[in-house]
Amino acid sequence: MAESMKGLHRTHRCTEVSNRNIGETVTVMGWVQKSRNKGGIIFVDLRDRSGLLQIIFEESDAGKEGFAKAEHLRSEFVIAVVGKVEARSGAVNENLKTGDIEIRATDIRILSESEVPPFPIEEDSKTKEELRLKYRYLDLRRPDLQRNIMLRSKVANLTRQFLTEEGFLEIETPMLTKSTPEGARDYLVPSRIHPGSFYALPQSPQLFKQLLMCSGYDRYFQIAKCFRDEDLRADRQPEFTQIDMELSFVDVDDVIDVNERLLKKMFKESIGVDIELPIQRMTWAEAMDRFGSDKPDLRFGMELKNVSDIVKNCGFGVFTGALENGGSVRGINANGQAGMPRKKIDALVDYAKDFGAKGLAYLSINEDGSYKSSFAKFMTEEELSALVAALDGRPGDLLFFAADEDEVVFAVLGNLRLEIARNLGLLNKEDYKFLWVTEFPLLEYSKEEGRYKAMHHPFTMPMEEDLDMIDTQP
């Protein structure tokens, strides 16, 4: 039966108790992670959002009634405990922040009982996502999710602190607004007062922050909610939050500078990672040419190489046909993967087809320097040697090639290099490689729509050297 916490006030969160509190009486509250009855002594791991703390119950300290309550405890019971802080009498638990202390309970109240949870409340749960989402309030108790939420809160506070010190004003913009053409479909909200009319939820605060600049608020920021009616994909969310800002009377270097310093503060003070400034810059054209992506992952190599000039006169129709249609032939080198099983190669070919490839040509370099490839017979020794040299191929390497229009080749090889890197474990989550990609094209041609449209969004300043083209070549 649940008890009241009347008269009790929590003095510490679990991990706020330390060896500095030895000898003190404290009151802690939280959830039972697990309970172990050793006969005459009960050990309870108490959990709150800060972490774990060990509680010891013995009848001599907690009394007969208190010990009986402790015997009744099960996982996820919510309890309040009063007790004295002691140094651990047994082995210190180096894996816990509070591993050198424990609380000897003198009083306990069971604030809420719990049924057996449908899955264990623990880190790195192997529970299916569908079940976790059904019991989201339980899932959010897990330490890894709690750390994520607390990190997000810390980053938001660091952002507000930094930008305020930089002279920015935090200004909220409307959530119910007029529908305007942007990058996705709008979420619509029907108006009760005006039947048949709708508000749109903002895809971004873009128009509002432009109005704020016109109104003289020369440095604005907002931690803004955005809504986009898009298909669910790994890089798409119907609802998300962004750090939104706008500045007046600045150039591109000013904008980059304030963002770099924000990132440096954010990473250093939230996760202890020191970012070296200035951050590397690369033009969009170079990023696409070298990595097949406008957001390249620089944690590993495997760069794209253009071999069009080498194969333009070869006898392999796939290569020459692509070049005759204005496309290109490019390749990547999967170092040391010549022994990759055919089944895995076929899986990579199928993966490439998801991005528009009609197929994928490949060439393996044997340890004796000979080649194994389905297209080698269509090329001379000189062409093959030049092709391998262009990709810095060595014995034991596996080379992949795509031939098509540039847009397809970039998509195929850009995604293929990432898939190979994932399969080979080349992506170190502790390695951070920041990059500014500059000089994006403003427009791209959409074959489906038969017109030019904004590559990302229309709110983009032209390059200064191109400004005269607005009049001369609109």
SS3 per-residue string spanning 272-329: CCCCCCCCCEEEHHHHHHHHCCCCCCCCCCCCCEECHHHHCCCCCHHHHHHHHCCCEE
Summarize pLDDT for 233-264 with one digit per residue, the tens: 777 789 999 999 999 999 999 999 999 999 99
Instruction: Return the pLDDT at 235.
Output: 73
CA distance 256 to 436: 9
Q: Phi and psi at residue 104, in whole multiples of 5°?
A: -90, 110
Question: What average pLDDT does the segment 82-87 reach?
Answer: 96
Instruction: Return the pLDDT at 467.
Output: 84
Q: Does residue 469 register a pLDDT over 90? A: no
3-state secondary structure of 434: coil
CA contacts within 13 A on the Cβ side of 337: 21
Summarize pLDDT for 164-219 with one digit per residue, the tens: 999 999 999 999 999 887 667 899 999 999 999 999 999 999 999 999 999 999 99
Q: Does residue 38 register a pLDDT over 80? A: yes
Q: Does residue 121 register a pLDDT over 90? A: yes
CA distance 285 to 287: 6
225, β-bridge pairs: 241
Instruction: Return the pLDDT at 191.
Output: 95
Least confident segment among 19-33, 122-136, 386-400, 407-421: 122-136
Q: Please enumerate in sequence order all residues whose Cβ is within 8 A of that of 336, keeping only pairs 6 or more positions apart, or say none.
A: 396, 397
Q: Does residue 394 register a pLDDT over 90? A: yes
Q: Could you give the C-alpha distances from 38 to 35, 58, 218, in angstroms and in order? A: 10, 10, 66
Instruction: Return the pLDDT at 1.
Output: 62
Summarize pLDDT for 432-465 with one digit per residue, the tens: 999 999 999 888 888 888 888 888 777 777 888 8
Q: Please enumerate in sequence order all residues whose Cβ is within 8 A of that of 96, keeping only pairs 6 or more positions apart, or say none.
A: 51, 52, 54
* Residue ranges of domains in the chain, CATH in brackets: 14-112 (2.40.50.140), 146-271 (3.30.930.10), 284-424 (3.30.1360.30), 441-472 (no CATH)
- Helices (H), strands (E): how many in the chain? 13, 19
Residue holding tokens 């034991």?
A: 396
Q: Does residue 68 register a pLDDT over 80? A: yes
Instruction: Return the pLDDT at 182.
Output: 67
Summarize pLDDT for 273-289 with one digit per residue, the tens: 999 999 999 999 999 99
CA distance 418 to 291: 10
CA contacts within 13 A on the Cβ side of 176: 6
- 267, 273 Cβ separation under 8 angstroms: yes
Instruction: Return the pLDDT at 242.
Output: 96
Summarize pLDDT for 359-378 with one digit per residue, the tens: 999 999 999 889 999 898 99
Q: Are strands 436-438 and 281-283 parallel, antiparallel or unpaired?
A: parallel
Nearest to residue 289, comparing CAs of 267, 307, 263, 266?
307
Q: Does residue 64 register a pLDDT over 90? A: yes
Q: Does residue 125 register a pLDDT over 90? A: no
Query: Please, which pLDDT band fits residue 123 given cuts at 50, 70 and 90?
Result: confident
SS (H, E, C) 144-179: HHHHHHHHHHHHHHHHHHHHHHCCCEECCCCCCECC
